[in-house]
Amino acid sequence: MKIAIIGDGALGCLFSAELSKTNEVILLTHTQEKTDIINQNGLSVTETDHHIDSFHHLCAYASGTYQ
């Protein structure tokens, strides 16, 4: 399934990371700088037990640039 998440705040990043495990996720960000960082490094989520999961199977686009 293809899913678009609008906004790169805490919840937008959390949902994007989790949904990218089994879906094609597009994250719309506010700036090109954030887009570049997410596309290069992916997203990291730190759990309450301090375990860090990294997610690289998603694409970020600056708002207004997705085609």
pLDDT above 90 covers a percentage of the chain that reads 88
Residue 41 lies in a domain: yes
Residue 46 lies in domain: 2-62
Backbone CA torsion sign across 52, 19, 58, 7: negative
In a domain, 50, yes or no: yes
pTM of the model: 0.83
67 domain-assigned: no
Question: Residue 49 domain-assigned?
Answer: yes
pLDDT number for residue 41: 94
Number of domains in the chain: 1
pLDDT for the residue 63: 81
User: What would the pLDDT profile of 4-33 be if each residue is shown by its tens digit?
Assistant: 999 999 999 999 999 999 999 999 999 999
Cβ-in-10-Å burial (0-12, 13-18, 19+) of 8 comes to buried
pLDDT above 70 (res 39): yes
